[in-house]
């Protein structure tokens, strides 16, 4: 496939352009925010390319010895690419990488993140981006055959295990000491719009996370779990509470001011649970008079929803039942200033996260007031002094807003780049085909993987005795154009060099000339079941392969040859038509002749005047008239 762009006002073939030099793998193009991604497989090895802000493509650089076989773009927020890469030796895990602003150079963020296959064969990576708090992710990492949940607040620079609750849902103490025991969560986001999935958070309720999981040395699947349940964090993952000992669907009402939970069970139910204090306490409500097998729950669109619909069936044979639950009567008053309190984001007491302190205005737990659509949550951010923890691999973590401190120590310093030996020169045509017609403009694309482009020269030898030299590669970003005047196969050579060395690439270009005339020669008469030789003469004399299609007698399929002659035996008497079509590049011409076929015939030696051929225009009518004249003469 090719990556083609054009302006919507004029999207013709002539007005389109091909930003990527050559062909890319089918269905590999990804356009996301300021980035365009593509992959190319060659010789069984995959190479990934990125274009930042629609500039020229460059190869994505992973650490040395990385040999990826699959890649998924997780996030492109805040001028940084977050990608999941499956290495050559991984089967059910991926490594997480973060990039620089251009998406070209990547460093490792977390290794061996668990993956699985969805119902339709799609890859699902156990990574969850927490809504409302930039840079915060949860991931399930495979550690010595055990899957554990880790959390980061700085987009993958630092990770830690989750501290388990101190008591269970009944108030019994839990003895769980890190790193041998921790809280492990299921991170699958709902594929079905009518279910809440295993984990949830909202932009309008920063810091509140609801998830299902278990406490122990590793994550246990639902089928195996007997001690799991539902857990809630009100402080962005620092501490957790167990709220149910069985899995529930949890919905956020009125921008997180209330939580609604419905039990996951194969049995019919009639109750749901409602909490106004971020899951610290729950009240039981009936939503139907008749127990219902619940198939799903759907909230109205928007974070401010106060209406939800429960749907299911009374029995396995009954039709669907829809129950609309309206909570507007519970939220009787509008929220005012006294209904809010300040909440400061922190990571185990450290308030400086991503280079700043962030203070949110959140509704006080237990307050039953309504925010409505016009509410805008207030966020106060104060920059922090830069420390070593704000940097990774000698660069600042993406979206980090720290100031002063050690910033100058890690800041990029401008210096004259040393010249580099050019390596990895690629030469292709703009359409990816090593063929063209004579007299037509053809564009060669030259791409250098490594080297100092402004200080690297280029010479192009076109193979037809002409060549051109450019002082630097920057001047040929749009390609090198050339016109071939003759047919043939030409060896095109590109050579790039600077003071440290050189590299070269070549391709063999097939230049075809359109054929102008085809003449079919064959006998005028033949005997049944005897081979008849036929020849197609092409003008001008071709250079390069031609394809010949022979339509013989009453055959419905042609005989295809690469030679200008063939033979055929006609099985029945009568006049037979022979058609030859000759294909050269994009042109095709044909000639048609007739042949008389008899079971037997007698030939006579005839003589004609020497200048007879001077009057032969080589048309069927002339031959027909001459044959009538000969026939009358023989009859006399």
pLDDT at 225 over 60: no
- pLDDT mean over 596-600: 92
Q: Which of 3-12, 138-147, 325-334, 614-623 has the highest mean pLDDT?
A: 138-147
Bridge partners for 565 per DSSP: 535
pLDDT of residue 304: 66
DSSP assignment of 58-110 = EE-BPPTT--EEEEEEEE-GGG--EEEEEETT-SSEEEEEEE-TTS-BEEEEE
Query: What CATH number matches the domain at 337-410, 2.60.40.10, 2.40.110.10, 2.10.70.80, 3.20.20.70?
Result: 2.10.70.80
pLDDT of residue 614: 79
Q: Where are the domains of the chain?
A: 337-410, 423-512, 517-635
Which residue bears the tokens 């058609």?
579
pLDDT of residue 502: 92
Quote the percentage of the chain above a pLDDT of 70.
95
pLDDT higher at 395 or 368 = 368
Closest CA to 71 of 60, 80, 63: 60
pLDDT of residue 376: 64
pLDDT of residue 222: 60
pLDDT higher at 461 or 253 = 461
**What's the mean per-residue pLDDT of the chain?**
87
What whole-number distance in Å separates Cα of residue 272 and Cα of residue 274? Answer: 7
pLDDT of residue 158: 93
What class is the 423-512 domain? mainly beta
pLDDT at 524 over 90: no
DSSP assignment of 124-176 = EESEEEPTTSTT-EEEEEEETTEEEEEEESSTTSS-EEBPPPSB-TTS-B---
What class is the 517-635 domain? mainly beta
Instruction: Quick: pLDDT tens for 148-179.
Output: 999 999 989 999 999 999 999 999 999 999 99
pLDDT at 568 over 60: yes
Instruction: Quick: pLDDT tens for 3-61.
Output: 888 888 888 777 777 777 678 888 899 999 999 999 988 777 888 999 999 888 888 99
What whole-number distance in Å separates Cα of residue 18 and Cα of residue 414? Answer: 34
pLDDT of residue 224: 52
Instruction: Quick: pLDDT tens for 545-561.
Output: 789 999 998 888 999 99
pLDDT higher at 610 or 193 = 610
Collapsed DSSP state (helix, strand, coil) of residue 225: coil
The answer to which of 79-88, 225-234, 455-464, 477-486 has the lowest mean pLDDT is 225-234
> 337-410 and 517-635 share one CATH topology?
no
| Contact (CB, 8 A) for 244 and 231 | no
Q: How confident is the model at residue 616 (pLDDT cuts 50, 70, 90)?
A: confident
| Contact (CB, 8 A) for 554 and 520 | no
Which residue bears the tokens 């396995």?
316
The answer to which of 11-20, 84-93, 348-357 has the lowest mean pLDDT is 11-20
pLDDT at 93 over 80: yes
What whole-number distance in Å separates Cα of residue 543 and Cα of residue 107? Answer: 53
pLDDT higher at 524 or 619 = 524
pLDDT of residue 636: 73
- pLDDT mean over 622-631: 83
pLDDT of residue 526: 92
Q: Which of 141-155, 190-204, 321-335, 406-420 has the highest mean pLDDT?
A: 141-155
Is the pTM above the cut of 0.75? no
Sheet holding 457-461, edge to edge: 435-437, 501-512, 488-498, 457-461, 467-470
The answer to which of 190-204, 210-224, 293-307 has the lowest mean pLDDT is 190-204
Peptide bond preceding 109: is omega within 30 degrees of 0, i.e. cis? no
| Contact (CB, 8 A) for 135 and 146 | no
What whole-number distance in Å separates Cα of residue 101 and Cα of residue 36? Answer: 13
Q: Which of 17-31, 268-282, 418-432 has the highest mean pLDDT?
A: 268-282
pLDDT of residue 534: 95
Q: How confident is the model at residue 196 (pLDDT cuts 50, 70, 90)?
A: low
pLDDT at 194 over 60: no
pLDDT at 303 over 70: no
- pLDDT mean over 439-448: 89
pLDDT of residue 192: 61
Closest CA to 128 of 195, 207, 194, 211: 211
| Contact (CB, 8 A) for 230 and 242 | yes
């Amino acid at each position: 496939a090719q990556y083609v762009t054009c302006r919507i006002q004029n999207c013709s073939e002539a007005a389109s352009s091909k930003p990527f030099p050559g062909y890319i793998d089918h269905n590999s193009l990804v356009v996301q925010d300021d980035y365009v991604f593509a992959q190319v497989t060659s010789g069984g090895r995959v190479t990934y390319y990125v274009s930042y802000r629609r500039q020229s493509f460059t190869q994505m650089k992973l650490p040395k010895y990385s040999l990826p076989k699959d890649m998924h773009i997780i996030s492109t927020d805040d001028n940084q690419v977050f990608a999941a890469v499956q290495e050559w030796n991984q089967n059910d895990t991926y490594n997480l990488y973060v990039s620089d602003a251009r998406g070209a150079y990547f460093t490792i963020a977390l290794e061996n993140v668990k993956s699985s296959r969805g119902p339709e064969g799609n890859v699902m990576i156990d990574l969850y981006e927490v809504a409302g708090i930039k840079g915060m992710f949860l991931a399930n990492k495979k550690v010595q055959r055990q899957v554990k949940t880790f959390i980061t607040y700085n987009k993958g620079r630092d990770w830690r295990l989750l501290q388990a609750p101190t008591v269970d849902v009944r108030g019994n103490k839990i003895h769980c000491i890190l790193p041998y025991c921790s809280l492990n969560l299921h991170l699958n986001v709902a594929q079905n719009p009518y279910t809440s999935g295993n984990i949830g958070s909202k932009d309008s309720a920063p810091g509140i996370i609801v998830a299902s999981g278990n406490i122990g040395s590793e994550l246990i699947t639902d089928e195996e779990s007997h001690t799991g349940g539902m857990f809630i964090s009100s402080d962005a993952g620092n501490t957790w509470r167990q709220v149910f000992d069985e899995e529930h669907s949890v919905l956020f009402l009125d921008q997180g001011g209330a939580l609604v939970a419905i039990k996951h069970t194969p049995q019919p139910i009639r109750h749901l649970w409602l909490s106004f204090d971020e899951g610290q306490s729950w009240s039981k409500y009936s939503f139907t008079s008749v127990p219902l097998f619940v198939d799903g729950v759907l909230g109205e669109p928007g974070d401010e929803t106060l209406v939800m619909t429960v749907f299911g069936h009374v029995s396995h044979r009954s039709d669907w039942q829809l129950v609309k639950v309206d909570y507007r009567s519970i939220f009787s008053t509008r929220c005012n200033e006294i209904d809010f309190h300040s909440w400061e984001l922190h990571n185990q007491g450290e308030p400086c996260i991503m280079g700043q302190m962030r203070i949110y205005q959140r509704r006080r737990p237990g307050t039953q007031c309504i925010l409505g659509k016009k509410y805008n949550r207030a966020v106060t951010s104060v920059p922090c002094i830069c420390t070593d923890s704000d940097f990774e691999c000698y660069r600042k973590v993406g979206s980090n807003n720290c100031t002063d401190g050690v910033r100058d120590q890690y800041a990029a310093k401008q210096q004259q780049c040393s010249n580099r030996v050019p390596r990895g020169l690629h030469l292709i045509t703009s359409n990816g085909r090593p063929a063209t017609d004579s007299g037509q403009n053809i564009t060669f694309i030259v791409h250098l993987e490594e080297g100092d482009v402004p200080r690297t020269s280029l010479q192009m030898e076109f193979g037809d005795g002409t060549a051109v030299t450019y002082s630097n590669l920057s001047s040929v970003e749009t390609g090198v154009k050339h016109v071939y005047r003759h047919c043939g196969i030409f060896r095109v050579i590109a050579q790039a060099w600077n003071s440290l060395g050189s590299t070269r690439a070549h391709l063999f270009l097939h230049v075809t000339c359109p054929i102008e005339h085809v003449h079919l020669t064959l006998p005028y008469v033949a005997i049944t079941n005897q081979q008849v030789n036929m020849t197609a003469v092409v003008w001008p004399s071709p250079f390069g392969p031609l394809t010949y299609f022979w339509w013989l007698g009453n055959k419905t399929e042609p005989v295809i040859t690469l030679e200008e002659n063939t033979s055929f035996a006609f099985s029945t008497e009568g006049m037979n038509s022979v058609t030859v079509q000759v294909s050269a590049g994009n042109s095709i011409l044909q000639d048609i002749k007739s042949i008389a076929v008899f079971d037997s015939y007698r030939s006579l030696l005839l003589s004609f005047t020497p200048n007879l051929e001077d009057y032969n225009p080589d048309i069927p009518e002339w031959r027909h008239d001459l044959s009538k004249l000969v026939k009358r003469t023989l009859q006399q």
